[in-house]
Structures are given as C-alpha cells and as structure tokens.
Amino acid sequence: MNDVHIYEHDQDGLLYDPRARAAMGRFAEGEADLPAFEAAAALRTAYHAVERMRAHGSEGRGVSAGALDVLIRLSATERGISIGDLARAAGVSSRNVTGLVDTLERDGLARRVPDPKDRRSVLAEITPAGRAWVEAFRKPSQLAMRAMFRGFSPEDVLTFRDLCLRLAANQQRLADHLRQTGSSRP
Amino acid sequence: MNDVHIYEHDQDGLLYDPRARAAMGRFAEGEADLPAFEAAAALRTAYHAVERMRAHGSEGRGVSAGALDVLIRLSATERGISIGDLARAAGVSSRNVTGLVDTLERDGLARRVPDPKDRRSVLAEITPAGRAWVEAFRKPSQLAMRAMFRGFSPEDVLTFRDLCLRLAANQQRLADHLRQTGSSRP
DNA sequence: GTTAATTATGAATGACGTACATATTTACGA
DNA sequence: TCGTAAATATGTACGTCATTCATAATTAAC
C-alpha cells in the first residue's frame, strides 16, 4: 500500500490534513463550513485507519470486521441473540447479519439454534471454538487498542466517543425526520 | 432499515452506547481498556452515519462515496491529478483509484489526459459536467453538514478533527513500524 | 379464522478495497 | 551507455460489506 499521510499542526496545535483542506477549501466556499467538511474527511480517514488495524490484527484468523462485531456481541451472553436483535444493535440490515452469521457458522465459531419462544426466530450462539477464538484475540487486540490511542488522555477517549455518538444521533434524528416528511420515500 | 440506536448519558453527561458497553465489557476485561474499545465502536458507528448521510444526499446522482472524494479533489485544481497522487492523498491503493476514475469517466464527470512530464503517468481531470455536478452538490451538502454537526461548538469540530487524525497518525506509525520489523511481511 | 405484521433468508446487485501480475516508462549505477 | 531496478497504471481475480426485492414460515391482531 502506498500511504504516506502527512498532517500538520494548526496554530492551535491541532492536527489537520493540508491536502484535505486544500481540496475542501473551494468546495466549502464559506469559511464557516470548512471545519465541518474537514472533520468529516478526518472521520473517514480515522475509520479506515482502525479498519486497517483490525484487518492486520485478525490477519490469518479469517474473521472480518462485521463478523468480529457479531462474534464479540455473542461472546457477551450465555444464551444466543436473534438475527434481528443483532441487526438492530449493530445498526445494519438483518440480511447483512444473516450473511455474517453464515460465515461465522462456516468457520465453526457460531451456530444457529431455534428460538424456543418464537419459531420464526433463529438465535445465533457462540461455540466453544468461538469462545477460544475470542480469548486468543483478546490480548493482541488490547495491545493494538492501546497503540491506536497512544497519546490520548482518558478524557480524550471519552470525548472522542461522545463526539462520535453525537454525530450518529444527529444523523439518526435527521433520517427519522426525513422519513416522516417523506422527502425520499413517500 | 431497522435501526433504532438508543444512547444514554454517562454521569459526566457524555454519550455512550449501552449495548456496545455490555458487549465490550467482558471482552475488554480490564476497566482501563474499555473506553478505548467503546471509542473504536463509536467511530465505526459515526462513520456509517455520515456514509448513510452522504448516500442520501447524492441519491439519484450516481456518485458513490469514494468517487465523490476523488471528484472533490479534482474540482480543487485546474490541471489534473495523477492516479498515484490521488491514491496517496486518500490513503487507498492506486488500483482502487483507477476504478473510481473509471466510474467517473463513464459518467462523464472526469476524463483521463496523458501527463506531459511522465509518459507512464495518467492525469485525471474534471470535466465541465463534473464541475456542474459539484456545483449542484455544494448547497445540499453544506446543509447536510450543518445538520450533522448540529450542537457542536466550533471547538468541538476542531477537536473532533484533531482526535481523528491523531488516531490515523498512530496507525500510520504503527504500520510503518510493523513493516520495518517485518512482522507480517518479511 | 382470516388478514396483517414479523422473521429469516434466497437471489441479485453494486461499491469498496486488496493482492498479484504485467506492460510501459523512467531513473540510476556500473 | 547499457542494463537493471523502480515507478506507474491497469488487467484479473477475490472477498467483504451492505443494500433491495421477493418469499416462506410463523405469530399477532381484529
């Protein structure tokens, strides 16, 4: 991969991406909106960074990002979780979760069991092999996390989480609003 | 889509995702590492939120996230940008950019011109139709950005950008280090 | 007890991103 | 200067993520 990001420090000492600023500068047009565009671009960059990290960490272990997300949720419970609940928790379509559980099942890390309470529903359940996988993944994952957040104060980490979720909540609100006014789908 | 995120407020007043915390809690094992895992999960959520937003904004316009990124960079310059430079600026593989430029070219929003200085290189250049597209996209995009960052103070936006880029820089450093020590590829 | 909503999944689609191989061209060093 | 190494874009192949639409099975509602 050819990836040579060079960031610089603002007069405030805050990091920014000169190339992104140059690209967005003309587009944002008003100086007032430029920081938001820069922040959105930075979010995209950061996401790819952790994805690359995660891909490296689970390299050769054959579990991808989405599947890992499901597996960790499964590892937190004794009884299984239904496909629909997993989808709602992760914020993706249930069809997507079906596929992720497929791959986990193919790898022997999870299994499907019928829901005794609802015969339409299927519970995904972690297997002993899945628990072993999670256990083996835990330590390197912790180390990777610490490396990723090196230089972050505890408050920085909490602030980062808060800002991310506020973004997500805004989008959520907006999508609900658009759905009600029926701007996109009547 | 079935997506009902419910976040709650910490005792500090900061947002967190109870489901993510429950899932990560057992995995992180040490209380010290839990916030980092929560932050990483929140980043993933936020990324999906803006992607969904972007998808809605450019709905029916036939330009996807990656292609939009390239197009905006092209719109910021008079002369073209080489595939390799675009790849380095966006932090993705050059092969990927080749595909993105393919779709932009197919839609008539960009074109390829030979680089007069280097006959191996190909410059991607925005077309008048591409400029018109960007122009039409500008206004709704600004509105969407403002909606996404509603409730953010100017400092919040800058802080968010800084934290994202610090994450990316850490990953960059880490990847370089791993490449040198040859842990993954000798 | 018939109709409507929910649940998971099959089928099809598309975007994203990677690795590997290759042809062309440039750069460099003996 | 000649020959080897590096860079550039792209063809081929692959895998993942995520979506929509349709469908069968089951539950809920009236």
Percent of chain B clearing pLDDT 90 (strictly above):
37
Question: In this predicted model, what pLDDT tens digit does every residue of A35-58 receive, in sequence order?
Answer: 998 998 888 888 888 887 777 666
pLDDT bin (cut points 50, 70, 90) of residue A183 is: very low
d(CA B44, CA A54): 12
d(CA A35, CA A25): 9
A86, A89, A92, A97: CA torsion to nearest 10: -10
pLDDT bin (cut points 50, 70, 90) of residue A1 is: very low
Alpha-carbon A150 to chain mean position: 19
DSSP state of B58: T
According to the model, what pLDDT value does residue B10 have?
Answer: 92
pLDDT bin (cut points 50, 70, 90) of residue B1 is: very low
According to the model, what pLDDT value does residue A66 have?
Answer: 85
According to the model, what pLDDT value does residue B183 have?
Answer: 42
pLDDT bin (cut points 50, 70, 90) of residue B155 is: very high
According to the model, what pLDDT value does residue B182 have?
Answer: 47
For tokens 């990777």, what's the residue? A144
- Across the range A173-186, mean pLDDT stands at 56
d(CA B169, CA B167): 5
CB contact under 8 A, A171 and B134: no
What value, to the nearest 5°, has the Cα angle with vertex B32 and ends B30 and B37? 85
d(CA B159, CA B90): 21
Query: What average pLDDT does chain B have?
Result: 84
* Interface with A, mutate which of B9, B12, B86, B160 (most A CBs under 10 A): B160
| CA proximity to A64, closest of A92, A103, A24 | A103
Which residues from B are below 8 Å from A16, CB to CB? 161-162, 165
Q: What CATH number does the domain located at A62-138 have?
A: 1.10.10.10
According to the model, what pLDDT value does residue B59 have?
Answer: 58
Strand C positions with any atom < 7 Å from protein CB?
A: 6-12, 14-21, 24-27
Distance from CA of A49 to the nearest CA of B (A): 5
H runs (alpha helix) in B58-127: 65-75, 83-90, 94-106
**Among A61-75, A172-186, B66-80, B96-110, which is the least confidently predicted range?**
A172-186
CB contact under 8 A, B150 and A142: no
Are the C-beta atoms of B107 and A58 separated by less than 8 Å? Answer: no
CA-CA-CA-CA torsion sign (B13, B15, B19, B25)? negative
Question: In this predicted model, what pLDDT tens digit does every residue of B35-70 receive, in sequence order?
Answer: 998 998 888 888 888 887 777 666 556 688 888 889
According to the model, what pLDDT value does residue A144 have?
Answer: 85
**Sequence ranges of the domains in chain A:** 62-138
Q: What CATH number does the domain located at B61-138 have?
A: 1.10.10.10
- What is residue B16's three-state secondary structure? strand
- Across the range B106-116, mean pLDDT stands at 91
Question: In this predicted model, what pLDDT tens digit does every residue of A25-37 receive, in sequence order?
Answer: 888 877 788 999 8
Alpha-carbon A11 to chain mean position: 31
d(CA B102, CA A79): 48
Q: Which of A42-51, B56-65, B156-165, B176-185 has the highest mean pLDDT?
A: B156-165
Spatial neighbors of A66 by CB under 8 A, at least 6 apart, are A90, A92, A96, A100
- What is residue A166's three-state secondary structure? helix
Query: What average pLDDT does chain A have?
Result: 84
Percent of chain A clearing pLDDT 70 (strictly above):
88
Question: In this predicted model, what pLDDT tens digit does every residue of A87-141 receive, in sequence order?
Answer: 888 878 889 999 999 999 988 899 999 999 898 999 999 999 999 988 888 888 8
DSSP for A82-136, written as a single string? EHHHHHHHHTS-HHHHHHHHHHHHHTTSEEEEE-SS-TT-EEEEE-HHHHHHHHH
Q: Tell me the pairing of strands A122-126 and A81-82.
A: antiparallel
| CA proximity to B49, closest of A54, A176, A26, A15 | A176
Question: In this predicted model, what pLDDT tens digit does every residue of A128-142 receive, in sequence order?
Answer: 999 998 888 888 888
**Of B5, B22, B69, Cβ closest to residue A168:** B5
d(CA A100, CA A164): 25
What count of residues does chain B have? 186
According to the model, what pLDDT value does residue A60 have?
Answer: 57
According to the model, what pLDDT value does residue B24 have?
Answer: 85
Distance from CA of A137 to the nearest CA of B (A): 9
Percent of chain B clearing pLDDT 70 (strictly above):
88
Residue B123 pairs with which residues in a beta bridge?
B82, B113
- Across the range A149-157, mean pLDDT stands at 94
